[in-house]
Structure 1
Amino acid sequence: MIQQTLKQELQTELRRILHYWMRFLPDEQHGGFYGKVDNQNNVEVQAPKGAVLNARILWAFSAAYNLTRDPSLLEMAHRAEKWFSAHLLDTEHGGVFWTVDHEGRPLETKKQTYAIAFAIYAYSEYFRATKQQAVLTVAIRLYNHLQRFSYDPQYGGYLEAFTRDWKPLSDQRLSEKDANEKKTTNTHLHVLEAYANLYTVWPESTLRKNIQDILRLFLDRIIDRKSGHLHLFFNEQWKVKGQLVSYGHDIEASWLLLEAAHTIDDPELVTAFKALALKMTLATEEGLARDGGLWYEYEPSTQHTVTEKHWWPQAEAIVGFVNAWQLQPSGRFLQRAYDCWKFTEKHLLDKTNGEWYWGIREDGAVMEEDKAGLWKCPYHNARACMEIMKRL
């Protein structure tokens, strides 16, 4: 049975991923975890340490502990939380710093909504592991900061970025490849994910309404109902900017949106996102290569496909196709998930040095990008393993 093979192999893979991070990433000299490691496991000791990386480490070890009850994983979560709280929380202005230096001194102090969302996600998961009230207090305080400073009461949704003291910022971009727009799908998806995780430990009525509001934005503004793809960038008034298609975000959203609707137990939204999950999964299939891997993105205006296959869209595709199979068991979706995992296992797993490569190029060459870094974290791949363990 494909289900059993997939579950067993991803259970093994979860242990492999976490073992890598436990072995190579702890910074014994300066605390926390190193900020950058390359494909050959060479550590850049003085690399900046990012909020997104460290929040995702905290989430991954907390979630893995919550699933397996392995005490060594909780020890890693303790380590991550201790360092994050000491160095990445901005105790003066609220929110989190984007980056600190290798010793923990503030470096890039802008407030990026995306990073704060991941901190909420992480602290909610860590609270589930520890039941320490002070941890939940941090998550709720960060949520209140987003509602106070980032939420747009006029047009709805959340603005991207601010200065350290929450003033407007001219450069809103999350990364250099992003469009400089005030609202993005990527940030809204992860605010939703964070709020839904917080709701599981703090089921507060206002938070529930915030989650409903974001889900309705996806229904009304973000998902192209005709194509099943996501619009990615918007101005403040939700005018769509650009036509770029991100296959990884399409398939990631297909299951995360439905999961959030289930979390708040809203029957109307559950029904809507069940239908959309299938439509978005079908749209994602446009980006599947013959080898089972998922291409990166497509630009309709030039009809250009970026045929690199990065690590995180493969992880999301495995979960997204299993989710679609659970909604429609008679279809081909389980096979799609299995094929994508087999592609990943063959081309992206570093069997010598551990973890997953960033990706491969069109010609099959391994990309010389971070093995661990500001964006390369044990989040997409560890989460995919855990989702499959839970779902199958």
Structure 2
Amino acid sequence: MIQQVLKQELQTELHRILHYWMKFLPDEQHGGFYGKVGNHNNVDALAPKGAVLNARILWTFSAAANFLNDTSLLPMAHRAENWFREHLLDNEHGGVFWTVDHVGRPLETKKQVYAIAFAIYAYSEYYRATKQLAAMNVAIRLYKDLQQYAYDPQHGGYFEAFTHDWKPLSDQRLSEKDANEKKTMNTHLHVLEAYASLYGIWPDRTLRKHIQELLQLFRDRIIDRKSGHLHLFFNEQWKVKGQLVSYGHDIEASWLLLEAAHVINDPDLIYDFEAMALKMALATEEGLARDGGLWYEYEPSTQHTVTEKHWWPQAEAIVGFVNAWQLQPAGRFLQRAYDCWKFTETHLLDKMNGEWYWGIREDGSIMEEDKAGLWKCPYHNARACMEIMKRL
């Protein structure tokens, strides 16, 4: 049975991933975790340490300790939380710093809403693992920072980025490849994910209302009803900017949105997003290659497909297609998930040195990118393993 094979192999893979991060990432000299480890496990001990990387490490080891009921994973979660609390939380202005240097001194102090969302997500999960009230309080405080400074009461949603003291910022981009727009799908998806996680430990009525607002924004503004793809960039008034399609985000959102609707137990939104999940899974199939892997993105205006296959869209595709199969068991979605995992196992797992490669190019060559870095974290792949173990 495909289900049994998927579950068993991803269970094995979860332990491989956790072992890699426990073995290679702790920075014993300066504390916390190295900011950058190369493709061949070559460590850059002086690399900046980012909020996203460290929040995702905190989330991963907290979530794995919870899911596996394994207290031996908690020291890694404690290590991550200590570093985050001491160096990445901005106790003066609120929010979190984007990066600090290798010893923990602030480098890029802008307030990127995406990074704050991941801190909320991480601290909510850390509270589940430890029941430390201080952790829940950090998550609530960061949520209140976003509502006070980043929320747009006029048009809805959240602005992207601010200076260290929450002033407007001319360059709001999350990364160099992103469009410089006031609002993005990506940030809203992870604010929603964070808020849903927080609601699970702190079922506040106002927080529930903000989760409903976010889901309605996705339903009414962000998902293209006709194509099933996500719009990625918007101006302040939610005017769509550009046509770029991100296959990995399509399939990731397909299951995260439905999960958030279930967390707040809203029957109307659950109904809407069950239908949306299937529509988005079908749309994602446009990006599947014959080998089962998922291409990166597509630009309709030039009809150009970026045929690189990065690690995180594969992880999300495995979960998203299993989610679609659970909603529609008679179809081909379970096979899609299995084929994507087999592609990943064959081409992206570094069986000698551990972890997953960043990706492969169209010709099958391995991309020379980080094994661990500001963006390369254990969150997508470890979460995929846990989701599949839970769902199957």
Q: TM-score range by the shorter chain?
A: over 0.9
Q: 1:186 is matched with which residue?
A: 186
Q: How is 1:52-201 mapped onto 2 (pairs within 5 angstroms)? A: 52-201=52-201
The alignment's C-alpha RMSD in Å is: 0.3
Q: 1:321 is matched with which residue?
A: 321
Q: 1:206 is matched with which residue?
A: 206
Q: How is 1:1-392 mapped onto 2 (pairs within 5 angstroms)? A: 1-392=1-392
Letter in 2 for 1:183: K
Please list the CA deviations of residues 186-205 of structure 1 after superposition, one character each: whole Å capped at 9, or x if unmatched: 00000000000000000000
Letter in 1 for 2:4: Q
Question: 3-state SS of the aligned residue for 1:305?
Answer: strand
Greater CA drift, 350-359 or 67-76: 67-76
Please list the CA deviations of residues 7-47 of structure 1 after superposition, one character each: whole Å capped at 9, or x if unmatched: 00000000000000000000000000000000110000000
Please list the CA deviations of residues 106-163 of structure 1 after superposition, one character each: whole Å capped at 9, or x if unmatched: 0000000000000000000000000011110000000000000000000000000000
Please list the CA deviations of residues 34-80 of structure 1 after superposition, one character each: whole Å capped at 9, or x if unmatched: 00000110000000000000000000000000001222211100110
Question: 3-state SS of the aligned residue for 1:140?
Answer: helix
Q: Compute the displacement of 1:228 (Å).
A: 0.2
Cα distance in 1 for partners of 2:386, 2:35 equals: 24
Cα distance in 2 for partners of 1:271, 1:68 equals: 31
Q: What is the TM-score of this pair, normalised by structure 1?
A: 1.00
Letter in 2 for 1:134: A
Letter in 1 for 2:89: L
Question: 3-state SS of the aligned residue for 1:156?
Answer: coil
What is the identity percentage for the equivalent residue pairs of Structure 1 and Structure 2? 85
Cα distance in 2 for partners of 1:156, 1:95 equals: 20
Q: Compute the displacement of 1:317 (Å).
A: 0.1
Q: Compute the displacement of 1:89 (Å).
A: 0.1
Letter in 1 for 2:227: S
Letter in 1 for 2:213: D
Cα distance in 2 for partners of 1:147, 1:125 equals: 20
Letter in 1 for 2:111: K
Question: 3-state SS of the aligned residue for 2:239?
Answer: coil
Question: 3-state SS of the aligned residue for 2:107?
Answer: strand
Cα distance in 2 for partners of 1:63, 1:6 equals: 20
Return 5+ residue gaps in structure 1 as ranges.
none
Letter in 1 for 2:353: N
Cα distance in 2 for partners of 1:293, 1:365 equals: 14
Return 5+ residue gaps in structure 2 as ranges.
none
Please list the CA deviations of residues 66-106 of structure 1 after superposition, one character each: whole Å capped at 9, or x if unmatched: 00122221110011001100000000000000000000000
Please list the CA deviations of residues 230-282 of structure 1 after superposition, one character each: whole Å capped at 9, or x if unmatched: 00000000000000000000000000000000000000000000000000000
Cα distance in 2 for partners of 1:134, 1:84 equals: 13
Cα distance in 2 for partners of 1:72, 1:174 equals: 34
Question: 3-state SS of the aligned residue for 1:209?
Answer: helix
Cα distance in 2 for partners of 1:134, 1:22 equals: 25
Cα distance in 1 for partners of 2:210, 2:115 equals: 18
